[in-house]
């Protein structure tokens, strides 16, 4: 697999240098994108994601990229898809209300199989909620927000280091599978500064979308013999009809049963059949855990602290921290359930989102949610006292 | 609670424009460069101009888990307002640093704390000609209290590496910052020695 | 030389009209017959657009068509070009992304009055304001055809549609005035009856640097049926009889009302304005 060192040889001195940096999560996200090769950004102002747009407007011109502030979030994601169709890695960033507006075109990106990255710096909702404070309420929306059947990929950074790393991963996954990849950051991760270690450029692997290997007259844009068909770039002579309507391998609209079903199957299979390769998670003190807390993003730091203390008090608790919300590492939950875990406890800043996903895989082991949605992450005391309540019934 | 002593929790607070966030970034960056872990979170009052700002830095030998501060080991307040609002978050036995040319706090149970008054604005003006660099003077004082966890050269490296949206600080500003920092460090070292 | 085409739905082979000979390499012949109703003006536009693209002097592979939803949105699918059929109303911002990412592309949006001016209206005025270097062809048939005849932003007051059974209450957009006011570099209005003028206008559109808008009046039998205007041919006759060409018309004065007593066509605006990008 090529690395940053090989692919962006002439730009290396313009990239964030390998070594230790101290960055806020939003800037780390933007730098991750630039390192991954993102050269187009379109967005619309929304708190708490603004630092990403501001930083990209300053940073992209330095590396030969382009920035545009569009008239709304719908236009932003449309422009991102357009730019990516023209062969440029592209990104937008937003928060809940803007993410809602983008949903229809997430479906478009999925249907046209255009790689794109959306950073959703989650804030408290519903509606306009509390713009300056955090929420983790967009977890299910990220996967299920657009109509119809499709699959996306979503990462859950817990700190600026992961904001940097996961944004690179998001680009790689988007390109590899020709899907929309979402970085589900949150207000706290976006605004906190933390240590970011940038690896050496020859250690950062970069994935690029599969390219056609056949001449235009033999090329099928949605060739179903592939799970992820090679992608022709606009303007390269392939003269492809890229069709938002349900289409044949050739890209022509169709209402044929077989062709329709085959297409939708492929759109979901390309992620579902690779979920074990894509999904990432962290296990903390799970080996002997009787109670498994499932938590992610900035909230997981508080949970980790709570677990440290609970362990000193004799509670056998551990943390399962999904680093990808989608695909969700459901088999890890299944294995824990089969191993005889007493309970799963979800701790997230919402009234129960990943809770439902854990239940899907818990094989009858009870799952309890600790609801919390005041705009902040729960502190370790809150987590401890509520976990004890769950354990002690 | 429960943030044990494997972490140092520093709360910096003052008026917007006092360079509180910059000070926090210097401390966090220096720690990161020394191989420690550090997290900085920032809170502002709702006003776009003229309100307070607060920078909470956690420095830890291992990975910082809970990223927020509920109790501070070191508290810096550059204004009476900051002092009034957040002095309560300083733990007993903690270090309290304040800007003594701006205000004179009335500290309840002052003997429970290590109190370091710093005429930072004066020092900054004397050393650099710029009153605004008082924040970096105060970083020097805090560093003196945290040595050897945070080292002098790390802060100097952090100043040299500090970037803003528009790029790096220019060299003359960097050098002035370093001078201001060292003056604060001297002041702090002497002050603490005097107390000892 | 004529080209034999197999009609996909029936398997019957027919000969492609000679009028298409020069552009047959630009048409996806295997997709014919097209889905448009008999009498629809879109077939004429398809032919003229293909011809203009062919003769634009810009390499064929650099042309990209972006369309949204509606009858007009299907035009890209019949052109053997890089074409993107995207979501309703979003063709313009998609096109902006394409153009910014690769300024060598000649990006043309084709959409109906509903697609461009209702759901996509905000994108239209902002792209014009920025003067994004793309082309927009608005096929104005005064109605939502594909969804069954609801009123659109250009439906004249008084017209009957499936959602204005008592006659439409609202005022329509004056498209050239809107485009001009928002900042377009090039603004024209033609009809599918004015094939020569429209063809020349399309060629001009490709030459223009900046946001180029052509409003194309086009018959829709869904509209004419509802309003006892006869068939598409009758509608064409109205255009033929009542339209005047005035390149210097006062744009504030060229509304098209229900009576269609006055239909002003022309190449109204061509001006140099800074372009947003590229």
Residue ranges of domains in chain A, CATH in brackets: 4-203 (3.40.50.970), 282-392 (3.40.50.920)
For residue B45, name the pLDDT band (cuts at 50, 70, 90): confident
Mean model confidence pLDDT for chain B:
93
d(CA B89, CA C197): 77
Tokens of C277: 């990008």
What DSSP element (H or E) covers A241? Answer: strand A241-243
pLDDT in the model for residue C8:
64
Q: Tell me the β-bridge partners of A225.
A: none
- Which residues have CB under 8 Å from C196's CB, separation 6+? none
d(CA A104, CA A75): 11
By C-alpha distance, which of C91, C84, C65, C76 is closest to C31?
C76
pLDDT in the model for residue C32:
85
**Residue B62: which domain range?**
7-195
Tokens of B60: 């830890």
d(CA A295, CA A362): 15
pTM of this prediction? 0.96
d(CA B67, CA A158): 10
What are the chain B neighbours of A308 within 8 Å (beta carbons)? 2, 65
Say which range, A230-234, A290-294, B163-167, has the weakest mean pLDDT: B163-167
pLDDT in the model for residue B1:
36
Average pLDDT over residues B133-155: 97
Q: Tell me the β-bridge partners of A204.
A: none
3-state per-residue secondary structure call for chain C:
CCEEEECCCCCCEEEECHHHHHHHHHECHHHCCCCCCCCCCHHHHHHHHHHHHHCCCCCHHHEEEEECCCCHHHHHHHECCEEEECCCCCHHHHHHHHHHHCCCCEEEEEEEHHHHHHHCHHHHHHHHHHCCCCEEEEEECCCECCCCCECCCCCCCCCCECCECCCCCCCCCCHHHHHHHHCCCEEEEEECCCHHHHHHHHHHHHHCCCCEEEEEECCCHHHHHHCCCCCHHHHHHHHHHHEEECCCCCHHHCCCCCCCCCEEEEEEEECCCCCCCC
By C-alpha distance, which of A252, A24, A17, A295 is closest to A139?
A295
Cβ-contact A317, A310 below 8 angstroms: yes
Domain assignment of residue B189, yes or no: yes
d(CA B57, CA B98): 17
By C-alpha distance, which of B179, B178, B140, B180 is closest to B161?
B178
User: Quick check: A192 contacting C, CB < 8 Å?
Assistant: no
How distant, in Å, are the alpha carbons of A393, C78, C84, C86 from that of C74? 61, 7, 10, 10
Q: Hey, is A393 helix, strand or coil?
A: coil
d(CA A76, CA A68): 8
Domain assignment of residue B1, yes or no: no
d(CA A316, CA A290): 6
Average pLDDT over residues A186-191: 97
Domain assignment of residue B80, yes or no: yes
Long-range contacts of A219-224 (CB under 8 A, 24+ apart): A220/A249, A220/A250, A220/A251, A221/A249, A221/A250, A221/A251, A222/A113, A222/A247, A222/A248, A222/A249, A222/A250, A222/A251, A222/A263, A223/A249, A224/A249, A224/A262, A224/A263, A224/A266
Domain assignment of residue B2, yes or no: no
d(CA A292, CA C149): 57
Quick one: DSSP state of residue A128? T
Q: Is C22-270 in CATH node 3.90.1010.10?
A: no
Check pLDDT > 80 for residue C165.
yes
Cβ-contact A9, A151 below 8 angstroms: no
Q: Do A191 and B41 touch (CB under 8 A)?
A: yes
CA angle A369/A372/A373 to nearest 5° reads 135
Which residues does A contribute to its contact with B (CB < 8 Å)?
20-22, 54-55, 58, 159, 188, 191-195, 298, 301-302, 304-306, 308-309, 377, 379-381
Average pLDDT over residues C186-197: 98
Is C60 buried (19+), middle (13-18) or exposed (0-12) by CB count in 10 A?
middle
pLDDT in the model for residue C277:
74
pLDDT in the model for residue B2:
40
By Cβ distance, the residue of B24, B38, B67 closest to A195 is B38
CA angle A188/A35/A194 to nearest 5° reads 30
Cβ-contact A86, C102 below 8 angstroms: yes
Quick one: DSSP state of residue A205? B
Look up the CATH number of the domain holding residue B93: 3.40.920.10
Check pLDDT > 70 for residue A160.
yes
For C77-132, what is each residue's pLDDT tens digit?
A: 999 999 999 999 999 999 999 999 999 999 999 999 999 999 999 999 999 999 99
How distant is the Cα of C5 from the closest Cα of chain A, in angstroms? 17
CB contacts < 8 A (A, C) = 137
What are the chain A neighbours of B1 within 8 Å (beta carbons)? 380-381
pLDDT in the model for residue C85:
98
Q: Do A302 and B38 touch (CB under 8 A)?
A: no
By C-alpha distance, which of A207, A181, A164, A177 is closest to A23?
A164
Query: Which sign does the torsion angle of CA A216, A220, A222, A224 carry?
Result: negative
Cβ-contact A217, A211 below 8 angstroms: no
The answer to whether C and A touch (≥3 CB pairs < 8 Å) is yes
List, in sequence order, every beta strand (DSSP E) within B69-137: 72-77, 90-99, 114-118
What DSSP element (H or E) covers A343? Answer: strand A343-347
- Which residues have CB under 8 Å from A277's CB, separation 6+? none
By C-alpha distance, which of C57, C88, C220 is closest to C143?
C220
pLDDT in the model for residue B3:
46
**Gyration radius from chain A CA atoms:** 21
Please state whether the peptide bond connecting residue B148 to the residue before it is cis, i.e. omega within 30 degrees of 0: yes
Which residues does C contribute to its contact with A (CB < 8 Å)?
28, 31, 60-62, 64, 66, 76-77, 80-87, 89-90, 92-102, 104-105, 122-123, 126, 276-277
Tell me which chain C residue has its CA closest to the CA of residue A236: C61
ipTM over 0.90: yes
Tell me which chain A residue has its CA closest to the CA of residue C84: A242
Say which range, A133-147, A310-324, B152-166, has the weakest mean pLDDT: B152-166
How distant, in Å, are the alpha carbons of A149, C56, C176 from that of C138? 32, 19, 10
Average pLDDT over residues A103-124: 98
Q: Hey, is A113 helix, strand or coil?
A: coil
For C12-42, what is each residue's pLDDT tens digit?
A: 787 777 878 899 899 998 898 899 999 999 9
Tell me which chain A residue has its CA closest to the CA of residue B33: A20
% of chain B exceeding 70 in pLDDT: 94
The answer to whether C and B touch (≥3 CB pairs < 8 Å) is no
d(CA C208, CA C133): 8
Q: Say how many domains are in chain B.
A: 1
C34-52 burial, b for 16+ CB within 10 Å, e for fewer?
Answer: bebeebbbbbbbbbbbbbb
For A35-54, what is each residue's pLDDT tens digit?
A: 999 999 999 999 999 999 99
By Cβ distance, the residue of C98, C99, C122 closest to A71 is C122
By Cβ distance, the residue of A20, A54, A377 closest to B32 is A20
């Amino acid at each position: 697999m090529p690395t940053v060192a090989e692919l962006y040889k002439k730009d290396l001195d313009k990239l964030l240098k390998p070594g230790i940096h101290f960055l806020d999560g939003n800037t780390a996200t933007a730098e991750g994108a630039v390192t991954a090769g993102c050269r187009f950004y379109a967005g619309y102002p929304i708190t708490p994601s603004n630092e990403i747009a501001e930083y990209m407007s300053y940073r992209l011109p330095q590396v030969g990229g382009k920035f545009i502030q569009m008239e709304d979030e719908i236009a932003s994601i449309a422009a991102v898809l357009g730019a990516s169709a023209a062969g440029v890695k592209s990104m937008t960033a937003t928060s809940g209300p803007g993410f809602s507006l983008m949903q229809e075109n997430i479906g478009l990106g999925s249907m046209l199989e255009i790689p794109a990255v959306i950073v959703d710096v989650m804030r408290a909702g519903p509606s306009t909620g509390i713009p300056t404070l955090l929420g983790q309420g967009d977890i299910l929306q990220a996967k299920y927000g657009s109509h119809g059947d499709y699959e996306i990929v979503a990462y859950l950074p817990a700190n600026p280091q992961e904001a940097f790393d996961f944004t690179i991963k998001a680009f790689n996954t988007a390109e590899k599978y020709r899907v929309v990849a979402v970085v589900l950051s949150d207000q706290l991760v976006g605004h906190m500064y933390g240590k970011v270690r940038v690896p050496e450029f020859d250690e950062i692997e970069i994935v690029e979308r599969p390219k056609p290997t056949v001449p235009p007259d033999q090329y099928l844009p949605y060739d179903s013999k592939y799970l992820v068909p090679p992608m022709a770039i606009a303007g390269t002579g392939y003269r492809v009809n890229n069709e938002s309507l349900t289409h044949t391998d050739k890209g022509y609209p169709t209402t044929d049963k077989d062709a329709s079903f085959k297409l939708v199957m492929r759109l979901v299979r390309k992620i579902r059949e690779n979920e074990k390769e894509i999904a990432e998670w962290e296990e903390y003190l799970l080996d002997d855990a009787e109670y498994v807390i499932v938590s992610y993003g900035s909230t997981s730091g508080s949970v980790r602290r709570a677990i440290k203390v609970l362990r000193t008090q004799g509670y056998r608790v551990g943390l399962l921290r999904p680093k990808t919300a989608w695909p969700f590492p459901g088999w890890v939950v299944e294995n824990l359930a089969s191993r005889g875990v007493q309970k799963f406890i979800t701790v997230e800043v919402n009234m129960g989102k990943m809770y439902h996903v854990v239940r899907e895989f818990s094989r009858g082991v009870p799952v309890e949610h600790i609801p919390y949605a005041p705009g902040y992450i729960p502190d370790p005391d809150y987590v401890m006292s509520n976990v004890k309540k769950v354990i002690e019934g | 609670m429960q943030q044990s002593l494997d972490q140092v929790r520093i709360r910096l607070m003052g008026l917007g424009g006092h360079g509180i966030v910059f000070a926090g970034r210097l401390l966090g960056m220096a720690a990161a460069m020394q191989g420690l872990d550090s997290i900085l979170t920032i809170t502002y009052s709702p006003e776009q101009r003229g309100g307070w700002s607060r920078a909470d830095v956690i420095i830890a030998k291992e990975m910082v888990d809970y990223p927020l501060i509920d109790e501070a080991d070191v508290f810096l307040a550059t204004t009476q307002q900051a002092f009034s609002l957040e002095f309560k978050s300083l733990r007993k036995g903690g270090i309290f640093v304040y800007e003594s040319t701006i205000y004179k706090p009335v500290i309840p149970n002052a003997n429970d704390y290590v109190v370091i008054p710093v005429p930072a604005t004066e020092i900054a003006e004397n050393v650099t000609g710029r009153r605004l660099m008082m924040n970096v003077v105060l970083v020097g004082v805090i560093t003196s209290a945290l040595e050897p966890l945070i080292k002098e050269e790390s802060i100097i490296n952090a100043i040299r590496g500090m970037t803003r949206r528009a790029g790096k600080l220019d060299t003359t500003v960097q050098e002035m910052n370093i001078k201001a920092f060292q003056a604060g460090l001297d002041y702090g070292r002497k002050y603490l020695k005097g107390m000892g | 030389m004529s080209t034999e085409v197999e009609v996909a739905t029936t398997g019957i082979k027919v000969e492609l009209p000679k009028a298409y000979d020069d552009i047959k390499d630009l048409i996806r012949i295997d997709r014919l017959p097209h889905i448009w109703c008999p009498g629809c003006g879109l077939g004429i536009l398809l032919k003229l657009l293909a011809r203009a693209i062919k003769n634009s002097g810009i390499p064929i592979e650099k042309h990209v068509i972006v369309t949204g939803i509606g009858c007009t949105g299907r035009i890209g699918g019949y052109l053997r070009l890089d074409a993107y059929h995207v979501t309703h109303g979003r063709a313009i911002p998609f096109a902006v992304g394409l153009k910014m990412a690769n300024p060598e592309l000649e990006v043309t949006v084709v959409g109906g009055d509903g697609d461009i001016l209702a759901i996509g209206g905000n994108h239209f005025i902002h792209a014009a304001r920025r003067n994004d270097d793309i082309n927009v062809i608005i096929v104005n048939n005064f109605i939502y055809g594909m969804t069954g005849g609801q009123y659109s932003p250009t439906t004249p007051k008084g017209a009957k549609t499936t959602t204005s059974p008592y006659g439409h209450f609202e005022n329509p957009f004056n498209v050239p005035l809107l485009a001009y006011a928002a900042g377009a570099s090039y603004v024209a209005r033609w009809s599918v009856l004015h094939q020569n003028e429209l063809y020349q206008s399309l060629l001009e559109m490709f030459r223009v640097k900046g946001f180029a808008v052509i409003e194309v009046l086009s018959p829709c039998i869904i509209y004419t049926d509802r309003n006892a205007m006869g068939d598409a041919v009758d509608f064409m006759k109205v255009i033929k009889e009542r339209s005047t060409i005035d390149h210097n018309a006062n744009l504030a004065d060229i509304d098209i009302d229900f009576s269609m007593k006055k239909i002003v066509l022309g190449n109204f605006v061509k001006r140099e304005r800074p372009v947003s990008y590229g």
